[in-house]
Amino acid sequence: MLLRASAQRLARLAAASASRRHGALPRASLSHAAKSRKTLVPALQLLAYANRSLSTTSEGVRHEFQAETRQLLDIVTHSIYTDKEVFVRELISNASDALEKLRHVQATGQSVADPELEPKIVITTNEADNTLTIMDTGLGMSKDELIANLGTIARSGSKAFLEQLKEKSPSETGDALTGIIGKFGVGFYSAFMVADKVEVFSQSASGGQCHVWSSDGSGSYEIAETADVARGSKIVIHLKDSCKDYASAARVEAIIRRYSNFVSFPIVLNGETVNTVQALWTKSEGEVSDDEYTEFYKFIANAFDEPAYRLIFKADAPIELKTLFFIGSSHSEKFGYARLEPGVSLYSRKVLIERNSPDILPDWLRFVRGVVDSEDLPLSLSREKMQDSRLILKIKDVLTRRIIRFLEQQATKDAEKFEKFFHEFGQFIKEGICTDFQNKNALAKLLRYESSQLEAGKHTTLDEYVSRAAPEQSELYYLCAPSRAIAEASPYFEAFKKTNKEVLFVYHPIDDFVMTNVGEFNGRKVVSAENAKIDVEDAGETADRKLSEDDKQLFGAWLKLTLEDSVKEVKFTTRLSESPAIISEFESASIRKMMAMVNDRTGQDAGGLNKHVMEINPNHRIIVDLNALRQVNNALAEKVARQIYTNATVAAGLVDDGRTLLTGLNDILGELLEQSLSKQSAA
């Protein structure tokens, strides 16, 4: 065991120290020797107490557990915890609490036994004996306290409470059990999940006789006097054969690092301090350097990059919260790897409750890494979950709004740095707009897009767009295209170019969903340029060739009949100047694909999704010539009309596979070549 090994090491140190007394000690070693004696004496005292605890113990007095205690012990052992390993966390938490209580007692000026003992938690594994020992130098317990704390549920009405559980269904019982945590300290009993027998050696800080409490968890316990032990408590867990792995140092160390790495007191496992990383969220920002924060980020996020942003946030409502959040420099989702898991862990008093909790932040904030800690969390009996769903939602809301406000502040503070952030993490902001209705308006302020009024590569915000718009403009326009060049060449941009109205260029399919979900911004309706109603001065007055009003009526009827399988309505428009026709009043390509997938899964027919409104430019030479062609060669005119419609669907992004266009194009080319050759032959 650790204590015996330490005895040997300390004996060697003492012998070496004695041998050096016969010779001259170098001047530089004097202060070091003084420090060594100061630390050596308490260590030897602690070791002596621990060794004496192994000596003969008086005959124990047998006690029966109270009936409700036996019931609770059975519940804890078989029903409460989802993972047996948490018993280590529970016992370490109890040890930390005992040390914290001792600290408060000493702060009030009260005297305690062995005041020179270092506050720490010592854990020893022994695979040969199949035991795990957890010792603290905390407050300790007297005989009466051992009985009160470990042998009974010391609260009136508890028996009636547990009797009620018998009368409820399993689901109701689970809900009822969540209330116990505030009334009973059940963490100690978790040791019986893995133990055949548990022994607790303890001496109260107020002094007096030392006692040992022992039980196999079956229904009774014994308390006996024992030789002096160090102030505090030592729990010896005799492990079941099925739980031998908890006598492994590696196994226990992994559990400590997972759950108790930030406990305030040193945790020494087999002579080595395990918890070397400090809980930086409990310190003021001025006490911690940037390098320390960076190393902490890399530790909790298992990351190699540098954090781009750091947010330290404390709140008193709805409960006391301490948070430390980081946003990295990059993320893995953009490379096509698996979806990021939530990255914020929940702690209570620096003890892990839930790693990477999905309940603390909304899913779209899964790129945030960090911790949330509170001493006031209403935890389930197993201390593995928060039990108040309404409070969870309030905490999520408070933290989400605080992160959004932080990002707004950073965007103002350093616009260039924020642009880099948005380039890297913008997809998550857009996802938030589509999924978080409550915060979509605040998130919309974080969007960054190129604009027709700015040079390529520069981005603008929706607020800046509104500030440049004419007061009478009631709409905010955007155009979705694969690139700026394609957007500027789009027939849907022609009217905006003519009227000098600003259009935001958005380049990703998700942006259609984003803008649809934004809906309205600062009193202006968000509208796709593809479906905008723009009043443009009719260019027909200056056109050399154009359709007359009679021609429009006849041509429109003919075109609708020719394209009746694809077009539900034909309109004439003045918004076009360089294109013969466009498709309008249609679902965007991204929304259309989504609806098609839904129809495929449900087996429904897309039906009217394939019929569109077609707007015609009556002053375009192709339209004027097509009207003339239909009167002399209707068959060829119909082929040209279908090709004009096809070209319009391509411009609208409605064609998934361009190879479907080849047949129509080849057919027209073939007929034109044939007619040309016929004319030459006739000539």
Q: Transcribe 258-301 into DSSP letters.
A: HHSTT-SS-EEETTEE---S--GGGS-GGGS-HHHHHHHHHHHH
673, pLDDT greater than 70: yes
- With a CB cutoff of 8 Å and minimum separation 6, the contacts of 15 are none
CA dihedral 85, 86, 89, 90 (to 10 degrees): -130
Topology (CATH) of 447-531: Rossmann fold (3.40.50)
46, pLDDT greater than 70: no
Q: At what angle do helices 2-20 and 30-52 cross, to 10 degrees?
A: 140
Mean pLDDT of the chain: 83
Q: What is the Cα–Cα distance from 415 to 241, expressed in whole angstroms? A: 62
Q: Identify which of 319, 377, 311 has the alpha carbon closest to the alpha carbon of residue 349.
A: 377
What is the predicted pLDDT for the residue at 507? 93
CB atoms near residue 642 (< 10 Å): 17
Topology (CATH) of 539-682: Four Helix Bundle (Hemerythrin (Met), subunit A) (1.20.120)
Tens of pLDDT, residues 546-559: 888 999 999 999 99
Domain ranges of the chain: 2-52, 61-273, 284-419, 447-531, 539-682
259, pLDDT greater than 50: yes
**Residue 487 CA from chain centroid, whole number:** 36
CATH number given to 61-273: 3.30.565.10
Q: Between 381 and 373, whose confidence is greater?
A: 373
Instruction: Give the chain's length.
Output: 683
Q: Strand, coil or helix: what is 64?
A: strand
Q: What is the Cα–Cα distance from 629 to 623, expressed in whole angstroms? A: 10
The DSSP output letter for 307 is P
Tens of pLDDT, residues 190-227: 999 999 999 999 999 998 899 999 999 888 999 999 98
Highest mean pLDDT of the ranges 145-149, 379-383, 664-668: 145-149
Strands of 309-315's sheet in order across? 309-315, 321-327, 368-373, 343-348, 351-354
In this structure, whether the domain defined by 284-419 belongs to CATH 3.30.230.80 is answered with: yes
Strands 567-572 and 450-451: unpaired
Question: What are 582's two structure tokens?
Answer: 């466009």
What is the predicted pLDDT for the residue at 201? 96
Q: Identify which of 37, 93, 662, 162 has the alpha carbon closest to the alpha carbon of residue 379.
A: 93
Q: What is the Cα–Cα distance from 609 to 598, expressed in whole angstroms? A: 13
Which residues lie across from 612 on neighbouring strands?
567
In this prediction the pTM is 0.76
Q: Is the separation of the CB atoms in 648 and 583 below 8 Å?
A: yes
CB atoms near residue 662 (< 10 Å): 9
Q: What is the Cα–Cα distance from 273 to 366, expressed in whole angstroms? A: 33
Q: What is the Cα–Cα distance from 219 to 151, expressed in whole angstroms? A: 10
